Structure 1
């Protein structure tokens, strides 16, 4: 066979085997970076001092410190006594009970703050409405530590809120390291989610059904109650359920704004890791994982039964925000929205604005002292101290390296989960499992499984902390690539694909030459999400970076925040700038059609 024929044969083999090979490679990466580390956590929890035991689980389940008063049922107390203790003012919630309690209150606050936004976006037309709706996704990519330092700058003793209260002649308030501050911060992150899903449901309501109810004599309030509200309830409950799942496994916000006195399960797992109590940390992490997976499963079942489908009719018409004629009926809801706008600005814009202001102000007014401190720390800091520029470089390098793993993994999984074949749902579930596992658990698993190493014969195989951090970031970021690219692949005109296949193009060649160019904006958007999540990742990184020099910007903020608020806010501004520049660069690489 001549060289041209040989090259064609090699190319045919490549085209035929490329996708299966990429799928196998993705599976191998998942096994090494996710499933093996998670299994290591499981082994740590049931093998103590070289023997198989469930004693750690039993100790936790029967300890009121972890499970509150109901744990006494396992130690022989009567149900009546436990019930009386549970209902008493002095009841103990335990770590798990408190975690569930703060998640429930956070869900209520997120719904209360998100519903008015949904009403505004779904029922009114005004300049910038589409931009405002697009911004509802922004809190999901804002680094949690950056937001935390913004809340400290807002609610601290010398923060923006107390500055405004003092100027108005009112008494200062102490919100920092209180449950209220944690709840408000959780609402910052999750109210936009509630607004987003509820707005979509509101816009799917058929206007003709409302008109029919009105023509039959129903008042506007009755028509809303009987026609519109029943179609909104599932979306509101979905948003609340998802908020509960997210806030149950909360970590950075509570660590920064609540401290150990308001410790959730994740914060306490981190504390146990710091105390080298790996068996107890692993057991508690698995208990949390079991609860989280149960909550996520219940949510997915509910979502499957109550997904809002767009009707075939026209949606409800939106009113102009500024009417041509003012009346009491037109004025009252708009006054309510104006009051909500003030509250929303305080919650959503206030922390970021406070961080920016605190970074350039001091006791004597405007100053660059905090940024100068960062420069001095970089030049003269001790070896064990966090150096700002090193943290910036580490964050960027980790983000770039994790993107090289997360992007191809995400695209491959998106392809695999949008093809019709037996076992697709299983592949989807296994590939999306990282979404349901917290960063602390992933970090603990990578620490115990890869960083500490595996003994094979007389040899111990281990990876460095930096490689483990990149792996954790890739595992956390690639599901967002899948969820961005997958729907676009699924909605492609299949006649284009079939035409390419009919002309003899192999499956891999069709994907590269036809499908990916058509969904390229989604690929770039997924890459932007992966980079932003990597730059802002804290939970797994803080476990893996402890005792090393592999600090990132979120860790630098956490180290500063308890000692020097000014430098912490300056580092937060640097993190905001790096994240924004990353988005801009990826946006330019993706072309004009990419939007966020």
Structure 2
């Protein structure tokens, strides 16, 4: 009798759990359908249907055949690659200093390095515009409204991401393997490239991929700093909708 009651209770609990998960799944799917799939689908339909409601894909050919399109794509990818490379180059030393060395105030410095990443992109853009503008302290560099200014701002914005992701893994590596390599005659650089770098490759690759995604879709920074050159894919979408 007791076993039967226990089995019945477990079955009821299982049914209740399934109903709860089912309700949660329905709520999530409904939310995504209304606030994501519907607007995106409506936007895409407006791009492939003419005024009469008939399917019209000629716009794809016109856009892809235009030389300006590929100039914009090339400029966007160039800025994203340069910004990603700069973020990695400056982020790795920052990761080492913040996560592999011990000095007073390290925790405070870690917190400070996260500030650029959480700042609104418009704020970062305005700050760089104030620094690099003709009346700014760095105006003599002549970088105002140039691709270099955008790349510098993107690097500043994303260094903390590289440092945080790579440094978190670097902090957990066993230092004895490097010490063993050094004791066998390996130089500091060789020990880093043969032992530490392979261990950090997953974190470097993942964080660099995120930075590239952020840089290739940057809008506010590019607009604030003057949309240099032919602009980016994001700014071109805005320009097309306005003109």
TM-score range with shorter-chain normalisation? 0.7 to 0.9
Instruction: Tell me the CA shift for residue 146 of structure 1.
Output: 1.5
Q: How does 1:548-567 map to 2 (within 5 A)?
A: none
Cα deviation digits, residues 547-587 of structure 1 (max 9, x gap): xxxxxxxxxxxxxxxxxxxxxxxxxxxxxxxxxxxxxxxxx
Partner residue in 2 for 1:107: 84
Select which of 86, 98, 108 maps to 1:121: 98
Q: Matches of residues 68-147 of structure 1 in structure 2 within 5 Å?
A: 94-147=71-124
Would the alpha carbon gap of residues 61 and 119 (structure 1) be closer, same or farther in structure 2, given more than 3 Å must change? same
Pairing partner for 1:48 from 27, 47, 50: 50
Task: Spell out, residue by residue over 1:318-352, the C-alpha distance to the aligned partner (whole angstroms, 9 max, x if none).
Answer: xxxxxxxxxxxxxxxxxxxxxxxxxxxxxxxxxxx
1:68-467 correspondence to structure 2 within 5 Å:
94-162=71-139, 172-259=140-227, 261-275=229-243
Cα separation, partners in 2 of 1:14 and 1:232, compared to 1, 3 Å = closer
Matched, 1:65 2:33: no
> 5+ unaligned residues in a row in structure 1: which ranges?
1-12, 68-93, 163-171, 276-596
Tell me the distance in 2 between the aligned counterparts of 1:258 and 1:37.
Answer: 30
Whether the 8 Å contact between 1:136 and 1:193 is mirrored in structure 2 is no
- 1:338-377 per-residue CA deviation (whole Å, 9 max, x = no partner) reads xxxxxxxxxxxxxxxxxxxxxxxxxxxxxxxxxxxxxxxx
Measured against aligned partners, the alpha-carbon deviations of 1:495-550 in whole angstroms (never above 9, x if no partner) come to: xxxxxxxxxxxxxxxxxxxxxxxxxxxxxxxxxxxxxxxxxxxxxxxxxxxxxxxx
> Distance in 1 between the 2:134 and 2:24 partners?
54
Paired residues of 1:202 and 1:232 also in contact (CA < 8 A): yes
Q: Distance in 2 between matches of 1:253 and 1:126?
A: 34
Query: Which structure shows the higher helix fraction?
Result: 2
In structure 2, distance between residues paired with 1:128 and 1:34: 44
CA offsets, 1:19-58, max 9 Å, x none?
Answer: 5434423322221111111111221221123221221111
Residue 26, structure 1, aligned to residue 28, structure 2? yes
Within-5 A mapping of 1:524-563: none
Deviation of 1:260 after TM superposition, in Å, equals 6.4
Give yes or no for contact 2:99–2:171 (8 Å, CA) kept in 1. yes
Give the structure, 1 or 2, with the largest relative contact order (CA under 8 Å, sep 6 or more): 2
Within 1, Cα distance between the matches of 2:174 and 2:88? 24
- Can you give the 5+ residue segments of structure 2 that lack an aligned partner in the other structure? 1-14
TM-score, normalising length: structure 1: 0.36
Does the residue aligned with 2:141 lie in a helix, a strand or coil?
coil
How far is 1:262 from its partner? 4.1
Using the TM superposition, give the Cα deviation of residue 145 of structure 1 relative to its aligned residue in structure 2, in angstroms.
Answer: 1.1
Whole-Å separation in 1 of the counterparts to 2:189 and 2:105: 28
Residues 147 and 229, structure 2, Cα contact 8 Å, conserved in 1: no
CA 1:136–1:17 in structure 2 vs 1: closer, same or farther (change >3 Å)?
A: farther
Deviations 1:93-134 (Å, cap 9, x if unpaired)?
x11111111111111111122122112113211122123324
Deviations 1:431-452 (A, max 9, x none): xxxxxxxxxxxxxxxxxxxxxx
Hey, what's the Cα distance between the residues in 1 that align with 2:34 and 2:25? 14
**TM-score, L = length of structure 2:** 0.84
CA RMSD of aligned residues (A): 2.3
Q: Distance in 1 between matches of 2:156 and 2:131?
A: 13
CA contact (8 A) 1:190 1:243 kept: yes
